[in-house]
Amino acid sequence: MSKSKELTDWAFEQKCEKAVESLGKNGFTAVYCRTAQEAYDYIIAEADTAATIGFGGSLSVVDLNVADKLAGMGKELLNHGIPGLTPEESLEIRRRQLTCDLFLTGTNAVTLSGCLVNIDGAGNRVAAMAFGPRKVIVVAGRNKLVEGDVGEAIRRVKDWASPPNARRLNLNTPCAKTGFCSDCGSPDRICRIITVIERKPRVADIRVLVVNEDMGL
């Protein structure tokens, strides 16, 4: 390991641990994961008693490559992003995710004060994060950490997450072409619902894995 990587990892470790501490104070079950492998192992262990597992369309979760392992464990996977689904089939899966045993998702931003900040187009992901599934596991890479307030977190999402996500989804938005948010009025706009979870919702079981690696967008 180079000296620069060692120091970078150390600096991010301090920020990750600060976020974990703040998330814990806000009622979340927060876990610091030094590596993506630790996050993978945590999810597999927590999935043991789950029959149905929903996927929120997160690249952070995709990066972990847990789907094949979970399918091999006999779990029913609710993934609305499977190629070949009709719009009606995709919508039905999203509805079923709201009552699944375990919902796996990323988050667009985490403030060091312990807030989860997200922007959605349809709202199924943020709805499932807040209420419905028996357990929610949120994977947050160190690149999602924001030292400022919620406003800065929202700006982070619009500047760094929404444009590449719009491009990934082949949407006809200005940001998918330019890489910059223009607060557009496109029918394909994905910045439609902003949620800020300041404290763990009262009846929710939310686990936040803060990973000292870059994950997702």
Q: Report which of 113, 98, 101 is spatially closest to residue 30, judged by C-alpha positions.
A: 113
Low-confidence ranges of the chain (pLDDT < 70): none
Structurally, the chain folds into a number of domains equal to: 1
Q: Which domain holds residue 59?
A: 3-211
Q: Assign residue 109 the CATH number of its domain.
A: 3.40.50.10420
Q: What is the pLDDT of residue 51?
A: 98
Is residue 12 one of the residues assigned to a domain? yes
Whole-Å CA distances, 74 to 19, 108, 139:
34, 30, 22
- Residue 135 tokens read as 């357990």
Is residue 217 one of the residues assigned to a domain? no
What are residue 210's phi and psi, to 5 degrees? -95, 115
- Residue 22 tokens read as 């703040």
CA 113 to chain CA centroid, Å, is 17
For the segment 90-142, what is each residue's pLDDT rounded down to a tens digit?
Answer: 999 999 999 999 999 999 999 999 999 999 999 999 999 999 999 999 999 99
